[in-house]
Amino acid sequence: MRPWELHDSVVIGAGVVGASIAYHLAARGEAVTVVDAALPASGATRHSFAWISDGGGPDGPALGLRDFAVEDWRRLGTEIPGLELVWSGALTWGDEFGRSSAIAPPIDVEPRLAHLPVRARFSPEEGWIDPVRVTEQLIDAARRHGAQTLFGAPALRLIRDEAAGTVGVDLGHVVLAAKNVIVAAGTGSSALCRSIEVDLPMTSAPAIMVRLSAPPGLIARIVANDEFEARQGPDGTILLPRGYSGEDSDEALARTGEAVRRLLVDSFEDADDVRLQSVDVGWRPMMSDGEPAIGATRVPGVHVAVAHPGVCLAATIGRIVAAEITTSAAAPELARFRPTRFD
């Protein structure tokens, strides 16, 4: 017999979504254990552009939920001392970002942009996070509220014990039995749900993250248009996410990186000293219908949280999931996003 340990809530996955859920549960006084196969933010979160945008108009996934994103991240910024949120604002234009109220942007909004667009939208309330750093900060904040963490501990499968009214997480050497298990395991969520015969159809998609080294101060805001999205951190590193277009070797990734570097050099003034730092592929956890799957499954005690764009939504998901679990009241905001739609 392997040992059983009884827990209140076990969160599987310490990406930004699981970390936020763990923090919100712990802050509500729930005894939480977070397990991750690796370290916090080692999945999609690590490669994220991590743009926290406002509603962004009537298109795209998670309509309705996205309206809360900025407000919830700002709330977390007041709850967690030192949480590193960067409210840089975002300058967007072009067909893909054809949001409402496009006007001539203020001339000094992005001073080194080579060609200021005639019409654009400047959203001062938007921003970004360093996704690894902030996920670690959320985990630390959860710990300060009493959460336990187990890293380097892959969950092999979920277990149900109907007689005892518990569910469990099999870690191989030990089984964590719990009143609630929250599956926030990114692209690993579907396989875990399958182990208790819950169907969670996912079509996770790759995307590329190009990192460039540059002197700080080249890019002031998030800048996004039909050709590129970019932002620059205080150490000078510039991040540009790209769609994956079949790169199948380090050489192919380096070619993509170099093309992106040239695009950036052409788009900003005096940017010749920008260098390629790295090119990585990240897998974005996505449901087959493109919408988030958040909330209770048909198995009592098992909840899931899989969403894109997950960084933007993480603060909101954490708040709502923790409230549902601790009050047992169904949140109306999740009505369109329940995982039971796949049953």
Ligand X SMILES: Cc1cc2nc3c(=O)[nH]c(=O)nc-3n(C[C@H](O)[C@H](O)[C@H](O)COP(=O)(O)OP(=O)(O)OC[C@H]3O[C@@H](n4cnc5c(N)ncnc54)[C@H](O)[C@@H]3O)c2cc1C
Interface mask toward ligand X for 239-268; x: CB under 6 A: --x---------------------------
Applying CB under 6 A, which of residues 134, 138, 185, 196 lies at the interface with ligand X? 185
**Peptide bond before residue 309 is cis, with ω within 30 degrees of 0:** yes
In the complex with ligand X, which residue's Cβ is closer, 30 or 66? 66
Report phi then psi at 333, rounded to 5: -60, -20
In the complex with ligand X, which residue's Cβ is closer, 185 or 218? 185
- Hey, which residues between 98 and 157 contact ligand X (CB under 6 A)? 154-155
Our finding on whether 177 is near ligand X (CB under 6 A) is: no
Q: Which stretch binds ligand X (CB under 6 A): 33-41, 105-113, 265-273, 332-340?
A: 33-41
Least distance to ligand X, CB of residue 201, Å: 16
Our finding on whether 219 is near ligand X (CB under 6 A) is: no
- Hey, which residues between 146 and 165 contact ligand X (CB under 6 A)? 154-155
**Which residues fall within 8 angstroms of residue 32, CB to CB, at 6 or more apart?**
7, 8, 9, 10, 11, 22, 25, 26, 142, 146, 147, 148
For residue 201, give Cα distances in angstroms to 13, 91, 123, 289, 292: 18, 35, 35, 9, 11
Task: Count the site residues for ligand X by CB under 6 A.
Answer: 38
Chain centroid, CA 263 distance in Å: 26
Our finding on whether 192 is near ligand X (CB under 6 A) is: yes
- Hey, which residues between 47 and 66 contact ligand X (CB under 6 A)? 47-51
Report phi then psi at 210, rounded to 5: -100, 130
User: Helix axis angle, 16-27 relative to 69-79, nearest 10°?
Assistant: 60
The secondary element (H helix, E strand) that includes residue 77 is helix 69-79
Least distance to ligand X, CB of residue 151, Å: 9
- Residues 50 and 327: their CA atoms lie apart, in Å, by 30
Phi-psi region for residue 79, left (φ > 0), alpha (ψ -120 to 50) or beta? alpha
Our finding on whether 184 is near ligand X (CB under 6 A) is: yes
- Residues 192 and 184: their CA atoms lie apart, in Å, by 10
Least distance to ligand X, CB of residue 308, Å: 5
Our finding on whether 188 is near ligand X (CB under 6 A) is: yes
Least distance to ligand X, CB of residue 107, Å: 27
Our finding on whether 224 is near ligand X (CB under 6 A) is: no
- HSE-up of 188 (CA within 13 Å, CB side)? 21
Our finding on whether 16 is near ligand X (CB under 6 A) is: yes
- Hey, which residues between 288 and 317 contact ligand X (CB under 6 A)? 308-312
202 and 32 in contact (C-beta within 8 Å)? Answer: no
For ligand X, the binding residues (CB under 6 A) are 12-18, 35-38, 42-45, 47-51, 154-155, 184-186, 188, 192, 207, 209, 241, 282, 284-285, 308-312
